[in-house]
């Protein structure tokens, strides 16, 4: 057993840990990066990149099946080869992972430790069975893992999480997706468009991240037109027989319609997308004087990422705030800098909130959610993409957008929508929000013709009309 000294110890070499290490070094501190699993981030291995590869295959299949309305006829049937689909997904995924691994291994060997870390006391870490690290500051960037409720664990390998999808050699015949959040909708729609019989069941009427009732209702109908989508269902029982899973669930409960129905169906797999949990159970945080919340995560300041008055900083998915790559990277840089300069700690300046579901049509949110805005403090501008010019030209005319504008300041404060090119429009709105633009300044910006963004202009004009009505 050897003991090493360092200014900053970073636990986790992922999307937050790597920037934390680089920031600490840039601040002039010594730093050690500790990783227990294989190098390569969650995003590259089982998150952003492989899921978008699967979605890209699904988009290709969907586009090929919709040429006839344009007068373009493809003779014969479209054949989807599941093995070829998954081979490309895994091959390109491995390429992306390789870039991350190469970058990580370029870090000096003396600054890298392989092994799972646990706290011996506030400033002393045990790494594997070979090294102890005495650190002046610690950054916890251990990420998160999919959560599987107890009732599904008895299904063995027939209950899977999104990580497992990207290990498939071939596409299955029939899948139930439990959870109607971002991951559930993205993978559910992609698998459906690749010929898999998909049922998505949610528990609380959720449709991705949406909180605006009208937009959420519209989006729910869009997804229900492609696969079986029950946004408000109660799974009553699951059982396994051989390589099949039988699920019984109740729909209509609490909807007020009075038409409850119990459905029983059989699937090859149950894909559980019931949220994620912080990876803290192996850190032995009970050996420290850190104050822990009910989930065992250190209580920390969301601005400085500091745990109480301790030289410990919590960054990335492990803190559960915004589990997005760019947010994890920003937090990692802030945590690494603060750890290196402790006790000189400065708050993290967050960027404009932006969230995207890579579905088709896309779902996006920017700024404040509808549910979080103070009632009567804002007006809503609306556009339907059903008659929007460019959207109709492309036969991608499904969507509804709501933009929110403050009545007093006339500033754009947020938006929720489903529609074509949502991921690109989201960036325009995030930039406008971060620049604190008014709706008037946004309408002074150029809008080319004919483009989908003209729909955004319609919504902004609607907000201006709403301000006139409200007397602002």
pLDDT at 287 over 60: yes
Contacts of 272 (CB under 8 A, 6+ apart): 146, 147, 148, 149, 152, 159, 160, 161, 178, 179
Contacts of 391 (CB under 8 A, 6+ apart): 385, 397, 398, 399, 419, 420, 452, 455
Query: What is 2-146+277-341's CATH number, 3.40.50.2300, 3.90.550.10, 3.50.50.60, 3.40.50.300?
Result: 3.50.50.60
DSSP string, 398-440: --EEEEEEETTT-BEEEEEEEETTHHHHHHHHHHHHHTT-BHH
pLDDT tens by residue, 302-360: 999 999 999 999 999 999 888 888 999 999 999 999 999 999 999 999 999 999 999 99
Structure tokens at 157: 């390998």
pLDDT at 257 over 80: no
pLDDT at 472 over 60: no
pLDDT tens by residue, 384-412: 999 999 999 999 999 999 999 999 999 99
Percent of the chain with pLDDT over 70: 99
Q: Judge whether 16 and 43 are in contact, CB under 8 Å.
A: no
φ/ψ of residue 16, rounded to 5 = -100, -40
Per mean pLDDT, which range of 23-37, 100-114, 255-269 is the poorest? Answer: 255-269
353: left (phi over 0), alpha (psi -120 to 50) or beta: beta
C-alpha radius of gyration, the chain, whole number: 24
pLDDT confidence of residue 291: 98
CA 83 to the chain's CA centroid: 27
pLDDT tens by residue, 370-382: 999 999 999 999 9
Domain with CATH 3.30.390.30 in the chain: 354-469
Q: Which CATH class is domain 150-272?
A: alpha beta
pTM here is 0.95
Q: Judge whether 341 and 347 are in contact, CB under 8 Å.
A: no
Which three-class secondary structure state does DSSP give residue 352? coil
Domain with CATH 3.50.50.60 in the chain: 2-146+277-341, 150-272
The domain defined by 354-469 folds into Enolase-like; domain 1 (3.30.390)
* Angstrom distance (rounded) from CA 211 to CA 205: 10
């Amino acid at each position: 057993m050897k003991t090493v000294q360092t200014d900053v110890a970073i636990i986790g070499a992922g999307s937050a840990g790597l920037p934390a290490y680089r920031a600490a070094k840039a601040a002039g501190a010594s730093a050690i990066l500790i990783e227990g699993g294989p190098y390569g981030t969650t995003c590259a291995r089982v998150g952003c990149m492989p899921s978008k590869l699967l979605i890209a295959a699904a988009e290709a299949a969907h586009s090929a099946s919709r040429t006839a309305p344009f007068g373009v006829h493809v003779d014969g049937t479209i054949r989807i080869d599941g093995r070829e689909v998954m081979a490309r997904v895994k091959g390109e995924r491995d390429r992306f992972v390789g870039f991350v691994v190469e970058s990580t291994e370029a870090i000096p060997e003396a600054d890298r430790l392989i092994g799972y870390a646990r706290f011996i006391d506030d400033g002393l870490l045990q790494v594997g069975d070979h090294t102890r690290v005495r650190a002046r500051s610690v950054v916890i960037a251990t990420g998160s893992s999919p959560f599987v409720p107890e009732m599904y664990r008895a299904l063995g390998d027939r209950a899977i999480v999104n990580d497992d999808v990207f290990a498939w050699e071939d596409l299955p015949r029939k899948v139930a997706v439990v959870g109607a959040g971002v991951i559930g909708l993205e993978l559910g729609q992609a698998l459906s468009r690749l010929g898999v019989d998909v049922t998505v069941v949610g528990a609380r009427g959720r449709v991705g991240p949406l909180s605006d009732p009208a937009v959420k209702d519209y989006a729910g109908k869009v997804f229900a037109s492609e696969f079986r989508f029950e946004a408000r269902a109660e799974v009553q029982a699951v059982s396994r027989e051989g390589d099949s899973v039988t699920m019984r669930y109740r729909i209509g409960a609490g909807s007020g319609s009075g038409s409850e129905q119990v459905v029983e169906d059989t699937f090859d797999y149950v894909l559980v997308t019931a949220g994620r949990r912080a990876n803290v159970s192996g850190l032995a945080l009970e050996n420290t004087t850190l104050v822990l919340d009910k989930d065992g995560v250190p209580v920390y300041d969301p601005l400085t990422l500091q745990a109480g008055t301790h030289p410990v900083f919590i960054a990335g998915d492990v803190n559960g705030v915004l589990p997005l790559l760019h947010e994890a990277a920003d937090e990692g840089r802030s945590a690494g800098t603060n750890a290196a300069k402790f006790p000189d700690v400065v708050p993290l300046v967050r960027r404009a909130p932006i969230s995207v579901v890579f579905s088709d049509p896309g779902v996006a949110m920017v700024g404040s959610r509808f549910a979080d805005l103070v009632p009567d403090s804002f007006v809503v501008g609306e556009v339907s993409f059903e008659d929007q010019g460019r959207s109709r030209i492309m036969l991608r005319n499904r969507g509804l957008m709501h933009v929110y504008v403050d009545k007093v300041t006339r500033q754009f404060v947020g938006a929720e929508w489903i529609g074509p090119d949502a991921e690109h429009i989201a960036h325009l709105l995030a930039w406008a929000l971060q620049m604190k633009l008014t709706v008037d300044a946004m309408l002074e910006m150029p809008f080319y013709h004919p483009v989908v963004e003209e729909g955004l202009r319609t919504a902004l004009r609607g907000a201006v009309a709403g301000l006139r009505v409200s007397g602002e």
